[in-house]
Amino acid sequence: MSARAVIYARVSRDTTGQGKSVEQQIAECTKTCVQENWEIAEIVTDNSISASRYAAKQRPGYESLKNILEPEMILVVWEFSRAGRRTQEHLALQELCEERGVLFRAGSRNYDFRKSEDRFMGTLESAIAAKSSDETRERVLRDKRAAAEKGRPNGSLGFGFLPIIDPDTFARAWILDPTTAPLVKDAATAILAGASLHSIVKDWNQRGIKTFKGNIWRSITLRQLLLRPAIAGLRQHQGQTTTVKAVWPPIITEQEHRALVAIFTDPSRKTQRGSEVKHLLTNIALCGKCNQPVVRMSPNAKLQRGSRYACPDRHVTRNQAEVDKRVVSELLRIMDDTLADEFLMDETGAADGMDSPSEHHLTKAAELQQQLDDATAEFIAGRLTAATLGRIEAALLPQIDQERRSAAERTSNPLLAKLAAGAAGAWKAADISERRAMLRAAVVVTIHPVGKGGTHVFDPNGVTVAARQRHHVSW
């Protein structure tokens, strides 16, 4: 009877892009099992990239291994974990295998962790994998920076452009998309001539023109497209305001780009849509008692009251300006923190050639790692005691880990990271109806009843702004 194997595949937290996908890992491991004539008893996966490696409950696959693994089985993984310098994840697997008398297969070698030599080799291999991942990551970062300096984009350029392979150099290059580039040009010209976003969006949607991702156009996506430096042949590096000439051809001139930015960020700019709700939170904010959407009450000079939001049944009334201020600042904070993604940038953000802030975290991690390596070198040279090195390590390792985790979280959705730098700008550029749309998409605003005495002093805690649960982003 052939031996029974369990395949374990997990999302690589390796941000260098060298890690294989879960599907690829399963395919490779399956090949191994076929070659070795092992029967595949189970395939176990862990798909969450944001899972902390310390919180086991976030790795249900790993947890289920504890129930599945039996003596004489073989646990097959594609490679040793590349998840950073520390190797807890691997060590936990190693212990589990040792405990259960299960063989461990990684790459082309079997390990029996009941044997001290294999335990040592496993620990060593896992450390080597992590180290090589670190080195690759640093090289990738250097390459990315060099590419940015040369004005090359990181990924797709999106609407208006077509990727091609340069026939001379075989490198990736971009040309103007003969279908969509003229649309961008025409839209920019029309806006500069005083047309509204709405009129262009209506026209495009009527003509069946779809966004880069195949969705219908909205004013906000068109605005984001027209604000992109990329369409003026400019590349923005790591959220900086300075731009460099890009390697791709421009659709509009730099002058037009600057004029569009000026138009879209002009606070006095009004849209030309007819009957519009003029108040930010009417019908959006909810009464904390009965959950009805609030209405706006005009100022009452006799009662010396400014304009207010109020529950239709008057469970709550609150100063409009104060509530607006509170909600905007909370919204921007939440966007910076967590959301950032589709409702603002999904159509155009994938493309604007900026580096994600994950790079910032990775750079920081690399710097801290360097400090640690320097300290280790000092220790080896006999200039530091082991105790001092231990203290330095204890201080630096959690920081390094934190930076890497921040980077990994942001890498899981680079759009999110991009917007983090730009939430305030996007808000400033939006008109009232777009702002309302953003609010509806992003948050739930609730105005809670407060004590009688508090009516003249605004209590920010009386207004809560909660991030709407968004569907899980897949990667």
Tell me which residues touch Zn ion (CB under 5 A): 287, 289-290, 311, 313, 315
Q: Which residue, 131 or 315, has its beta carbon nearer to Zn ion?
A: 315
CB of 461 to Zn ion, least distance (A): 18
- For the CB of residue 316, give the shortest distance to Zn ion in the complex, in Å: 6
Retrieve residue 161's tokens: 């452009």
Q: Least CB distance from residue 444 to Zn ion, whole Å? A: 15
Nearest to 288, CA basis, from 316, 313, 307, 317: 316
- Report the C-alpha gap between 226 and 206 in whole angstroms: 20
Residue closer to Zn ion (CB basis): 60 or 449? 449
Q: Which is nearer to Zn ion, 191 or 311 (CB)?
A: 311
Shorter beta-carbon distance to Zn ion: residue 406 or 446:
446
Q: Compute the least distance from the CB of residue 294 to Zn ion, in Å.
A: 8
Q: Which is nearer to Zn ion, 286 or 335 (CB)?
A: 286
CB of 446 to Zn ion, least distance (A): 11
| Residue whose CB is less far from Zn ion, 318 or 410 | 318
Distances (CA, A) of 101 to 68, 71, 288, 388: 13, 5, 57, 39
**What's the closest the beta carbon of residue 320 comes to Zn ion, in angstroms?**
17
Q: What are phi and psi of 322, to 5 degrees?
A: -65, -40
CB of 64 or CB of 317, closer to Zn ion: 317
Minimal distance in Å, beta carbon 7 to Zn ion? 55
Of 33 and 294, the one with the shorter C-beta distance to Zn ion is 294
**Token couple for 358:** 């994950």
Q: Which is nearer to Zn ion, 276 or 313 (CB)?
A: 313
Residue with smaller CB distance to Zn ion, 339 or 447? 447
Closest to Zn ion by CB, 311 or 421? 311
On the CB side of 184, CA atoms within 13 Å amount to: 31
Cβ 295 to Zn ion shortest distance, Å: 11
- CB 291 → Zn ion: shortest distance, Å? 7
CB of 277 to Zn ion, least distance (A): 20
Shortest Cβ 448–Zn ion spacing (Å): 10
Q: CA distances (Å), 339 to each of 311, 345, 408, 461, in order? A: 28, 11, 15, 22
